[in-house]
Structure 1
């Protein structure tokens, strides 16, 4: 019985122990679940707090950004308004100046035309072009209708008179005339500085007799065949064909040199070239012929042509116009300083 009781007691104790262990395990599992739930709740709360804080910060930054952008827009609008006002003032001022000083454009245009006239005369020697520019400048000053411009217009009138007195030269006509004389020279004959005379017989009375009569007859026939040349001075060598070609080529080049001097307005070279051409004609060509005399006369006339006329000084009007503009600006600055 005792053994049975012990076994029963052991069984009972074992059952009780097993039930206790199950209860303990269930409690632990419950505690774990409770702990997990608590931790999950805390984490969610933290996340929610962080999200709320982020939203709050983002809202604050967005508000600050919008405020900054609004301030920048206001400042830009103010700056643009100031610029527009300044530009309007400048345009109004320029408009007023243009309305009150329209003649300044005429003054500036006249000054430019006078400067251009001086350049045309000095650099190109264009008398007609310079005179046309002076007349145009004078018309601009007349349109300005300012009595203070009278000294400038007086200078222009004086300079126009000086330009009108410059001798006009038809360069094209002179050039073509030289070219024509060059062609005529090519057909002139060279001079033959010799004189041919028939031989006269020195036998006054031919000898008598048969032999003497025949010899006299032979002499009569011989004097018709033999020519004797008499020279007062030393006899020069005859001109060879090569020398003749060189002489004609030299004369042609000399006339071309005169044409070049004409175009370049070199008076000294022009006169010297024609003088050398005349010297060659006189020395080596037959000047007794009419065609040669006409060429010489024409070249002598062309040698008297002035290819480089003396040009007047027309800078007085330009200087007077510059002084007028400078004095006008100085007066305006003085009036602006006083006001």
Structure 2
């Protein structure tokens, strides 16, 4: 019995020991598998890094080659451009001799053309005069007696520009605005009045019919007033008509201001005439304010907002002729020199 118990205990111990040994073996196998997996991933990572390094090296090499080729092409192109420019400059130098005064002539011609455009298109008298003076300074720097006729034309054109009347458009616009504000406060010739008729009969009529009729006639005389006029009377205007009339006067004066800014003389005068017609026809002309507005508008109507401008193209034509003759003379002298060399 004891031996059987020992055998059983020994068997149990063997089983426990075997199970523990099996667990340890399984754990070691798992660790070995993990180590093998980690080793494989490290190898794959190393391989990927090597591939990336190889790709970057190839890319850098390709980029350096492309940059080198572009630099070479650019250097070649720049060399060709420099050669072409040198050849063109050499041809120009061989065809004509350089003269610093030609630049002054060309600049003066450009300034004179710009002055004509400024005067014709923008009607800028002051700007055109400033350009003429600058062109005259350039011709003075050229110091060529042959340019005296051109400078004489410039002097005459400057005198003509100085004689052009100066138009104070800002002052005229402000004057029209002041008259517009003043007339808005003036009374109309036909005042709007509300007439309320009140009867003086306060007690019931009494007495006979003759007495009642007589009393009714007296009351009727107190309610009705008869006035005699030589001329026909105009109907009283309504408040809506009064507002429309005042608005019309304001719009007409604003139209005159717009014509002033656009330098339209006919529209300016027509607008002032229309405003005067409305004021004289519907406003109280005996009022001092109305008389002041009428007087001022009549004075403004005589203002010239678009003065006549002179012709300043003579200097431009004279300088153009001078430059053309100078070029022809130089071409002729170069032709004679070439014939002499051939001989």
User: The TM-score by the shorter chain falls in which range?
Assistant: 0.5 to 0.7
Q: Give the superposition deviation at 1:180.
A: 1.1
Mapping for residues 50-65 of structure 1, pairs under 5 Å? none
Indicate how the Cα distance of structure 1 residues 126 and 89 shifts in structure 2: closer, same or farther if over 3 A, else same.
closer
Kindly indicate whether residue 104 of structure 2 is the aligned counterpart of residue 110 of structure 1: no
Pick from 219, 243, 246 the counterpart of residue 244 of structure 2: 246
Q: Match for residue 261 of structure 2?
A: 263
The superposition leaves residues 122-163 of structure 1 with CA deviations (integer Å, 9 ceiling, x where unpaired) of 001111111111011111101110000001000000001111
Q: Give the superposition deviation at 1:264.
A: 1.1
Q: Distance in 1 between matches of 2:162 and 2:212?
A: 87
Q: Match of 1:310, SS?
A: coil
Q: Distance in 2 between matches of 1:258 and 1:84?
A: 63
Q: Distance in 2 between matches of 1:246 and 1:159?
A: 51
Q: Distance in 2 between matches of 1:110 and 1:153?
A: 11
Q: Distance in 2 between matches of 1:191 and 1:337?
A: 88
Contact 2:191 2:236 in 1 (8 A): no
Q: Match for residue 204 of structure 1?
A: none
Q: Match for residue 341 of structure 2?
A: none
Q: Match of 1:333, SS?
A: helix
- Structure 2: which 5+ residue stretches go unaligned? 1-75, 193-209, 338-343
Q: Give the superposition deviation at 1:97.
A: 3.4
Mapping for residues 231-242 of structure 1, pairs under 5 Å? 231-242=229-240
Q: Distance in 2 between matches of 1:224 and 1:301?
A: 50
The superposition leaves residues 303-332 of structure 1 with CA deviations (integer Å, 9 ceiling, x where unpaired) of 010011000000000000110111111111
Q: Distance in 2 between matches of 1:152 and 1:240?
A: 69
Mapping for residues 315-326 of structure 1, pairs under 5 Å? 315-326=313-324
Q: Distance in 1 between matches of 2:214 and 2:140?
A: 104
Q: Give the superposition deviation at 1:179.
A: 1.0
Q: Match of 1:245, SS?
A: helix
Q: Give the superposition deviation at 1:217.
A: 10
Q: Distance in 2 between matches of 1:262 and 1:291?
A: 24
Q: Match for residue 134 of structure 1?
A: 132
Q: Give the superposition deviation at 1:215.
A: 11
Indicate how the Cα distance of structure 1 residues 220 and 86 shifts in structure 2: closer, same or farther if over 3 A, else same.
closer
Q: CA RMSD in A?
A: 3.3
- Structure 1: which 5+ residue stretches go unaligned? 1-75, 195-211
Q: Distance in 2 between matches of 1:330 and 1:225?
A: 103
Q: Give the superposition deviation at 1:93.
A: 2.9
Indicate how the Cα distance of structure 1 residues 220 and 88 shifts in structure 2: closer, same or farther if over 3 A, else same.
closer
Q: Distance in 2 between matches of 1:89 and 1:124?
A: 40
Mapping for residues 69-108 of structure 1, pairs under 5 Å? 87=87, 90=90, 93=93, 97-98=97-98, 101-108=99-106
Contact 2:182 2:293 in 1 (8 A): yes
Which protein is bigger by CA-based radius of gyration?
1
Indicate how the Cα distance of structure 1 residues 310 and 89 shifts in structure 2: closer, same or farther if over 3 A, else same.
closer
Q: Match for residue 282 of structure 1?
A: 280
Q: Give the superposition deviation at 1:114.
A: 0.3
Q: Give the superposition deviation at 1:234.
A: 2.0
Kindly indicate whether residue 121 of structure 2 is the aligned counterpart of residue 123 of structure 1: yes
Kindly indicate whether residue 171 of structure 2 is the aligned counterpart of residue 173 of structure 1: yes
TM-score by length of 2: 0.63
Q: Give the superposition deviation at 1:183.
A: 1.0
Q: Match of 2:97, SS?
A: helix
Q: Distance in 1 between matches of 2:230 and 2:300?
A: 36
TM-score by length of 1: 0.64
Q: Match for residue 307 of structure 1?
A: 305
The superposition leaves residues 171-218 of structure 1 with CA deviations (integer Å, 9 ceiling, x where unpaired) of 111011111111111111110399xxxxxxxxxxxxxxxxx9999999
Q: Distance in 2 between matches of 1:224 and 1:297?
A: 44
Mapping for residues 212-231 of structure 1, pairs under 5 Å? 226-231=224-229
